[in-house]
Copies of this chain bind each other. A is one copy, B any other.
């Protein structure tokens, strides 16, 4: 079924064709039925802000399709992209559970279907469905893991090129496609955004990319990037 912004929407979770592959949503029928009863489905265009750092959580957001950028900003206006959330992830969990302010902001990077569940409904859901509670603990564990990796990368890297190399390697593992010319990645971010992912500046990214190109560690063709993973690994000391 087609809707605004050209997104295939899944109107209810029970019939959702992706459910099996979504760790959080993949629950037994009764739980899914409850989920269906308490969720609000919406489709957002690119650039929509789901919530803002510091705001009191009204509930959780389940990313059904699309990608969502999670950021945190300094008062100086400098922005750090903490994570790009993909389909299947649940956003705003920790704030909702602890009833404490969101620690990041969330903005869609492309047209996305997002299910919203109000805080009271969600807490009740966890209380009545142990399965949902377990899945929530798993989601949180994964978020914690990825936060931990981010801390490692930010705190232990010797140089900016190392951080960039680690970012690319991470992308390769997550969504790379092996080809004879190296691992292929679709890069859908601007230099500015890449810079914000590793806490540096646009200029530095531009320079590092040409450096990597010159050293034949990467090759760029349109929005595709071919990565020689072995050469990048040599830059990483962790």
Contacts and interface: CB of A to CB of B under 8 A. Distances in A.
Within the oligomer, what is the number of copies of this chain? 2
A19 interface: no
Contacts of A73: 156
A145 B76 contact: no
A228 B68 CA distance: 40
A161 to B, nearest CB: 15
Contacts of A151: 72, 80, 82, 147, 150-151, 154
A56 to B, nearest CB: 14
Tell me what chain A mostly uses at the interface: helix, strand, loop, or mixed: helix
Contacts of A137: 97, 126, 133, 136-137, 140
A135 to B, nearest CB: 10
Contacts of A142: 94, 98
A216 interface: no
Contact of A75 (B78, B130, B199, B238): B238
- Kindly name the residue among A73, A78, A103, A144 whose own CB sees the greatest number of chain B CB atoms within 10 A: A144
A231 B199 CA distance: 26
A141 B103 contact: no
A158 B74 CA distance: 10
Contacts of A150: 151, 155
A143 B144 contact: yes
Contact of A156 (B100, B126, B136, B199): B199
Interface of A: 72-76, 78, 80, 82, 93-95, 97-98, 100, 103-104, 126-127, 130, 133-134, 136-138, 140-145, 147-152, 154-156, 158, 199, 237-238
13 contacts: A72-B151, A76-B237, A80-B151, A94-B140, A94-B144, A98-B138, A126-B134, A127-B134, A137-B137, A150-B151, A154-B154, A154-B155, A156-B199
List the 9 closest pairs (A to B, CB-CB), nearest first: A94-B141, A140-B140, A147-B147, A155-B199, A154-B154, A133-B133, A80-B155, A103-B148, A74-B156
